[in-house]
Every structure is written in C-alpha cells, then in structure tokens.
Amino acid sequence: MYKLIIGNVRISVFDENISREQAASMARQAFQQASRQGKVLSHIEISAGEYGPEINTTEKAGHRITRKTIKQSLMDAIYSAAREKLYPTNAYTSQNTWFDTDTGQEWYGETVDVARNEAMQELEKWLKTMSTP
C-alpha cells in the first residue's frame, strides 16, 4: 500500500502492482467524473478488483452546499467591495464624511448616511436580480 496526494485529495493505493503513474491517471479520471457530477472529492481509494482496479471515492462532506458559481462569487466580491468603500472600517476615516476624488467635493453629516444607505439598498436589490438559484 502507498499513498499519493494530488491537490488536496488523498489517494490510497492498496495494490502494489499499480504503478504511481497508473494510480495518478485513475485518480485524474475520478476527478473528471466527479466534476461532471458536481462533486468535490476528499479521498480516492484504488484497489485490485476481480475485473481490474476498483476506484472508490469519498465526497467532501457538506461541501456542495457551500460551493458557489463564478457568478455568485463575483456578486459577493462586488457587495464586499461596496461595503468596504461606503462603510470603511479604517479607524482614521470619518464615518460621516464623503470625499469625491474626481471633483474635490466633500459632504458631511446625515446626508452622507442617507445617500450611503440608499446606494446599498439599490445595490442589494440589483444583486438579488442577478443571483442564481
């Protein structure tokens, strides 16, 4: 028996007659098949079977639920960037001030809070129309 690691997936080979190259090739085929089924693997076992090598895979527990599409990842990044820009967490930034670097204008007080909240509400509304099930 020997073990391989490809990416973050452990591969256990129980038959010494299977070369490392063969095992890696079989593991890659298992990755491709799992990917077509929308699965993410955590472990692959390769052993000698009656009719040739047998491959058993283990899917990452709970990972399907937390996976994102590229579109969802982009939308999350947009939302995160907007929150950081509109509501900066920097201790040296005044929360009640907005400065426009293009024109040099500055706004203060409640006007800034109202405008920020409206902008975030509009962004959230737009992001909901873009989200995928």
Token digits of residue 77? 């990044």
- Find, among 3, 7, 1, the residue nearest to 42 by Cα: 7
Token digits of residue 12? 């256990």
What's the pLDDT tens digit per position in 120-129? 999 999 988 8
Angle, helix 110-130 to helix 70-86, in steps of 10 degrees = 180
Q: What percent of the chain has pLDDT over 70?
A: 88
What's the pLDDT tens digit per position in 69-79? 788 888 888 98
- Give the chain's mean pLDDT: 84
What's the pLDDT tens digit per position in 81-95? 888 888 776 656 667
What's the pLDDT tens digit per position in 36-54? 887 888 899 999 888 888 8
pTM for this model (two decimals): 0.48
Rounded to 5 degrees, φ, ψ at 34 are -65, -40
Domain boundaries, the chain: 2-64, 68-130
